[in-house]
A and B are shown apart, each in its own frame.
Chain A
Amino acid sequence: MSTVITPPESAAAPPSGPVHRRIAWHLQHNPKRELWLAWWVMVVFYNLFFPIFFVVAQVQPPPQPTWDLATQVHWFDERHLGIPVGFGIIFAIAGMTAINNALIAYSMRRMSVSPAFGYSYLLIYSFSAIPGLLLLCIALVVGTLRPERNPETIGWLYDFAFLSFDGTMGVFLIGSLIWMVAILIDKNRVFPKWFGYLNLCNALTEVVVAPCWIFQRGVLAWNGQIAWWLDMVVFGVYQVTFIVMLFQMIRREDFGTGPLPDLPRKRATAS
């Protein structure tokens, strides 16, 4: 980049004082502002995403595949406002996922591996937002639109939504594997190897969800203890971990192309 424009790294320190002034300073002067912006967008997105799905729209934990049509119609009726409003917010903020994916793709770009990894990941996760998230939101919104609709049609929308959520995890499987391979062969030590293995655990958890297409009841149904509950636990651990890992990466970032330096504290204890 142009060394003329960007200020030297060791320049001014942020001013003390009210939070909004410090944030404004960082937005204007912090050399890593793009990375921090992307990271905060990610944090805000997940902090909105989970409460909306679990509390506002109340579509998670998922209802049972075995309910009769009358119960399903009633389920939609209970959420006739929660779903359109909650998912309205989701539709408005779904673009943030592009920034999340961009940050992760950037982490692969910082590695010693080919740019093909970052681009593949970006493409896969960008496309997966449609079957994995938006189509099911659309199906559920259409489900609440007309309570007088034929119950069988509502049942179809019900199935479509929940199978779309659980059953299209295959896309995330490949994406996780790509990130895993990148981390494991990376020589720049952007992430520790155990995080690469955690990606494998996440990928395997996506495999385990696939039987939801086969079972209407039991532990492997779309709301089953293995296919949903255990899967959510693994997924939750993975999410929190990668948010923390990206945080560490940004702190260590030196905008070079070689190995990422450790944080100063770590270096002191190692020597």
Chain B
Amino acid sequence: MADVAENVVAGSRSPRNALRRTDGELILLWTLPATVIVWVSAFFLFPGFTPPMSPTLSADQVATFYRDPAHLPQIRYSMIVFNWFGASLIPILTLIVMQIRRMAHRTPIFSYAMLGCLAGAPTLFLVANVCWLLAAFRPERSPELTQLLNDLAWVTFTTLVSFLIGQSVILALAIYFDDQPRPIFSRWVAHFNVLVAAALVPAAFVGASLSGPLAWDGALSFWLKNIAIGVWVVVMGVVLGRAVYRERAEIQRRAAELDSA
């Protein structure tokens, strides 16, 4: 009976004992606030985000933007910081995978799918990051080439929503299928993820127009997308934190029970 209860709580189907190794997860979890601060700072430092550069700028105007001595250091330093911390969300995403494994699923398919998704967005972000840095490296380059690099960076930055949509949908499905009396994540987290995924879909169509809400500086492809991502990070951070702490409390309680037994 106790074994069944253990299995129910741990929710994993492998013979791994219920006392899952969780050392260090709190450290990984608390990197999130640091990541958020770094990202937000770099975001506001980059002159191309505040306000977002318009796709309708001509090649010469784009070249001028990169050649502007006031902009140049800001571009370089903000992008270097993004380069360092581009991958720093991955440990958090992996912690989410660990929680998915605890859910009452019959197969590990959802955790596999989540694993398959989570490196994608940081990788594409780094591609965009490199393109921006390249554009800023030799501002005296022909304006056409600078504009090309700028275009590639912006389109990549906007269409990385591919993997974020995938992540949110997979997480939502995993939560919907988590049939236990006390699910790891509450149902509303699943609804929230579906909403975020829907909010990110318009950004996929960024190539359709150079102006308007779908353009990379537009209401849907820039503002809605980045706000949705920001809200997702904060909400999931809190939700994940609660799940991690709850699990640790349970592990400690059960370890105490085993010791006293």
Contact = CB atoms under 8 A, between A and B. Distances in A.
Does chain A touch chain B in the assembled complex, meaning CB atoms less than 8 Å apart? yes
Contacts of A88: 204-208
The secondary-structure label for the interface of chain B is: helix
Contacts of B152: 138-139, 142
B257 to A, nearest CB: 19
A95 to B, nearest CB: 2
B239 interface: no
Interface string B113-139: 111110110011001000000000000
Contact of A92 (B119, B162, B207): B162
Interface stretch (B37-45, B64-72, B80-88, B173-181): B173-181
Contacts of B127: 130, 135
A34 B110 contact: yes
Contacts, number: 155
B260 interface: no
A35 B104 CA distance: 14
A105 interface: yes
Contact of B124 (A34, A122, A130): A130
A12 B207 CA distance: 49
Interface residues of A, number: 57
Contacts of B159: 91, 134, 137-138, 141
B106 interface: yes
Given A103-B109, A153-B144, 12 more contacts: A5-B104, A6-B179, A32-B106, A85-B208, A88-B207, A88-B208, A92-B201, A95-B162, A98-B170, A99-B113, A106-B107, A146-B147
Interface of B: 4, 7-8, 11, 13, 55, 104-110, 112-117, 119-120, 123-124, 127, 144-145, 147-148, 151-152, 155-156, 159, 161-163, 165-167, 169-170, 173, 177, 179-180, 201, 204-210
9 contacts: A6-B104, A34-B107, A34-B110, A96-B166, A101-B112, A102-B112, A127-B119, A149-B144, A153-B144
Interface of A: 1-6, 31-35, 37-38, 81, 83-85, 87-92, 94-99, 101-103, 105-106, 109, 118, 122-123, 125-127, 129-130, 134-135, 137-139, 141-142, 144-146, 149-150, 153, 255
